[in-house]
């Protein structure tokens, strides 16, 4: 079976509860994401799932807290982009 980006996740093996943290722990968790080699793939997957399910965003994924991902998704919808979330962020920052 082909390796998945999940196999390279910095959070692999960590307690998943850490990614649904109390507000005072958020910066520490984001530090894990900041050095994750598959952050873009994780963000793209999270936003794709949240788009498909049409529900809210939960927890930290792809280096973003849920409310930031929800705002990102809102901006993407308004723009009508066909880019992935990570590509869209890169373009916004350009
Ligand atoms: S970006 Fe964060 S949540 Fe996503 S795989 Fe990497 S460490 Fe885990």
Q: Provide the β-strand partners of residue 64.
A: 61
Q: Which of 8, 18, 20, 36 is the pocket-test mutation for ligand 1 (most atoms within 8 Å of CB)?
A: 36
3 state SS of 64: strand
Distance from residue 19's CA to the centre of ligand 1 (Å):
9
How many degrees, rounded to 5, is the angle at CA 48 between CA 44 and CA 51?
Answer: 140
Question: What is the structure's pLDDT at 74?
Answer: 93
CB 61 within 8 A of CB 42: yes
Residue 13 in tokens: 């093996």
Q: Which of 48, 63, 86 is the pocket-test mutation for ligand 1 (most atoms within 8 Å of CB)?
A: 63
Q: Mean pLDDT per segment of 10 residues, for the chain of length 94 residues?
A: 89 94 88 97 95 85 95 95 97 87
Domain map (residue ranges) of the chain = 15-93
How many degrees, rounded to 5, is the angle at CA 50 between CA 43 and CA 70?
Answer: 75
- Closest atom of ligand 1 to CA, residue 60: 3
* pTM, two decimal places: 0.92
Q: Which of 33, 87, 85, 91 is nearest to 62 (CA)?
A: 33
72-82: b (≥16 Cβ within 10 Å) or e: bbeebeeeeee
């Amino acid at each position: 079976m082909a390796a998945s980006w999940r196999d390279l996740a910095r959070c692999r093996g960590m307690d998943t509860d850490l990614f649904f943290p109390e507000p005072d722990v958020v910066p520490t968790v984001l530090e894990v994401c900041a050095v994750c080699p598959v952050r873009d793939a994780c963000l793209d997957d999270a936003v794709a799932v949240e788009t498909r399910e049409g529900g809210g965003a939960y927890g930290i994924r792809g280096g973003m807290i849920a409310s930031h991902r929800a705002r990102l998704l809102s901006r993407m919808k308004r723009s009508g982009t066909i880019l992935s979330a990570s590509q869209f962020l890169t373009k916004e920052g350009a």
